[in-house]
Homo-oligomer: A and B are copies of this chain.
Amino acid sequence: MNAGELLSLCKRRGFIWPSFEIYGGVAGMYDYGPLGSVLKENIIRLWRQAYRYGEGFTEIDSVTINPEAVFKASGHLDEFSDCIVYCNECGEPFRADHLVARLHPNPDTLDAKSLKELIREHDVTCPECGGTLGDVEEFNLMFRTFIGPGSSRIGYLRPETAQGIFVNFPNLYRYNREKLPLGVIQQGRGYRNEISPRQGMIRLREFNMMEVELFVDPENKTWPRYPFVKEEMLRLIPNDGVERVMSLDGAVREGVIANEVLAYFIWLTKDLLVKMGVDPARLHFRQHLSEEMAHYATDCWDAEVLISYGWTEIVGIADRGSWDLTQHAKWSHEDMTHFKRYDEPHEVEQKVIKAKHSKLGPRFKEDAKEITNLIESCQAEDIKDGALQIEHNGKPLTISDEFFEVETLIRKVSGEKVIPHVIEPSYGLDRIFYTILEHAYHKRDDDYTVLKLKPILAPIKVGVFPLMARDGLDEKAQEIFRLLMDAGIEAYYDDSGSIGKRYARMDEIGTPWCVTIDYETLEEGRGKKDTVTIRDRDSTKQIRVPIDKLVKTIHTMLNGVNFESI
């Protein structure tokens, strides 16, 4: 299978459509069609379940247009850019690092100057027309707009949902009753004004993210459930490049993964992706090299999957340290700290300087009071060679230790302010969506396509078919369709074409079960009245169940019970 084949199925059957096709399309933009939007919604639901119900995180939903101040603080205004180069002949813009992809192991780590040199050195020309290439420049990837009338208030479409969580930290911290850990999730749009996107759903200008920001005590980077999963195995590629299969605890003890909380959320990510249908044999976690790490991260692991574009990042799990909150505290002058209360108040020794009034008075006369204040505002650390340097009436003045003494006080301190660290598992929803489809894509022996989607994710759970569209079979089938829909089970009624064709249509979009209403459903006396067949997508086997047990049977299978054991 190649990406084109899958994208064509997706388009034909209503999973995704290139946006604005009637106007010639816009590169890097896709719309989710009727099946795709439900599959996407189901992915979000599983992710929410894991974090909100499973781990007790809270969710927020912040706006997508952000004022410039946010991105000054976050670093995006300076750092969120790609190097661009235009063809001198045809004017086409390119990502400079893409043009030298074969000439350097990590071209995206190079700056504009190095890229330009590499292009000159190797006589790289325009891949479209063969023309010479111009200068390499930085191009900021945020979409810019103006908030309100005039052009005084610049706004940007957010490149990540994370900033909406960071700027709300004071609100979130109060909501959490000033306790850590504090876990917050957000899903929604992110924007990246790609120079020249060309990789289907992998490189989008408008994309969907599911982000998690976990604020933790920097000195307590573990997680309550860590002990229960620490022996689970992960396929890791640490930054030495050598793939290893290690347990979480082994990786943490050997210093491969920085800490337990990071390891826990790498594991949770693996668990979640596999539950969604990502093939574990085509999934590993790769640690960032120091030069490819974002400006804010202290350790970062990518969940990478093997798809037809090669190994591709679909989730990033980073320890961002205190970067984000420190930056926003600095630029907003707001308090972004956690008050870490000690179990017992600590006794803290404090050295304070006391002026000797009896010596100062006779020596400095009317200036004595002012000099007393100046002396006592000094710290013990300021004493050099037994003397203090102060400034009095604009002139430097040396005060020897005959004029002061150092006292040691004991103070009780109930806690300290710390800037929380941030652990961020950030999920690329569109890439996950695409991977799930690729890994679900199968050709059966008869060459029919079947999407082996996990039932819980399938956009349509049940196809409902009358054997024939007559003799009351169709009315009965409509009734059963209604019964399922009213129970919240997404169903699809189809009475056109042979049953085989209808099965094939459902297989192709990943519908796990098909219910057929036949003459036995209506027939008195043979003990099969009011029963229907359920046909299983993956085994193509059939069973017969009473209509009044149908909803329960579907629910049971949706909860993970295998068709064979029904």
Q: Which residues of A contact B (CB under 8 A)?
A: 11, 13-14, 17, 19-23, 26-27, 29-34, 36-38, 40, 49, 52-54, 56, 58-67, 69-70, 84, 93, 139, 143-150, 153, 155, 157, 164, 167-168, 170-172, 175, 177, 184, 189, 191, 193-196, 205-206, 328, 331-332, 334, 485-486, 488, 490, 496
Name which residue of chain B comes closest to A68, CB basis.
B23
Q: How far is the CA of A488 from the CA of B184 in the complex (A)?
A: 18
Q: Which residues of B contact A61 (CB under 8 A)?
A: 31-32, 36-37, 40
Q: Which residues of B contact A29 (CB under 8 A)?
A: 63, 65
Q: What are 14 sample pairs from A and B whose C-beta atoms fall under 8 A apart?
A: A20-B67, A22-B334, A32-B62, A38-B59, A53-B485, A53-B486, A56-B485, A84-B149, A93-B149, A144-B146, A145-B145, A146-B193, A149-B195, A177-B496
Structural contact, A60 and B84, CB atoms closer than 8 A: no
A150 CB → nearest B CB, Å: 7
- A63 touches which of B31, B62, B153, B167 (Cβ 8 Å): B31
Q: Which residues of B contact A155 (CB under 8 A)?
A: 26, 143
Structural contact, B148 and A93, CB atoms closer than 8 A: yes
A350 CB → nearest B CB, Å: 31
Q: Which residues of B contact A164 (CB under 8 A)?
A: 31
A388 CB → nearest B CB, Å: 38
Known: A145-B157, A148-B193, A195-B148. A22 touches B328 (CB 8 A): yes
Q: Which residues of B contact A177 (CB under 8 A)?
A: 496
Structural contact, A488 and B31, CB atoms closer than 8 A: no
Structural contact, A49 and B17, CB atoms closer than 8 A: no
A420 CB → nearest B CB, Å: 15
Q: How far is the CA of A37 from the CA of B145 in the complex (A)?
A: 26
Structural contact, A17 and B171, CB atoms closer than 8 A: yes
Structural contact, B20 and A167, CB atoms closer than 8 A: yes
Structural contact, B23 and A67, CB atoms closer than 8 A: yes
Q: Which residues of B contact A153 (CB under 8 A)?
A: 26
Q: Which residues of B contact A175 (CB under 8 A)?
A: 13-14, 33-34
A185 CB → nearest B CB, Å: 9
Q: How far is the CA of A318 from the CA of B176 in the complex (A)?
A: 43
A99 CB → nearest B CB, Å: 15
Name which residue of chain B comes closest to A69, CB basis.
B23
A344 CB → nearest B CB, Å: 19
Structural contact, B49 and A488, CB atoms closer than 8 A: yes
Q: Which residues of B contact A196 (CB under 8 A)?
A: 148
Q: Which residues of B contact A66 (CB under 8 A)?
A: 20
Structural contact, A206 and B17, CB atoms closer than 8 A: no
Name which residue of chain B comes closest to A494, CB basis.
B177
Structural contact, A194 and B148, CB atoms closer than 8 A: yes
Q: How far is the CA of A485 from the CA of B332 in the complex (A)?
A: 37
Q: Which residues of B contact A486 (CB under 8 A)?
A: 53
Structural contact, B205 and A65, CB atoms closer than 8 A: yes
Structural contact, A14 and B147, CB atoms closer than 8 A: no
Q: Which residues of B contact A67 (CB under 8 A)?
A: 20, 23, 26
A177 CB → nearest B CB, Å: 8
Known pairs A30-B63, A31-B60, A65-B191. 16 more at Cβ < 8 A?
A: A23-B69, A23-B70, A26-B67, A26-B153, A32-B62, A34-B58, A34-B172, A37-B61, A38-B59, A53-B488, A64-B206, A65-B205, A93-B148, A139-B149, A144-B145, A147-B205
Q: How far is the CA of A486 from the CA of B559 in the complex (A)?
A: 13
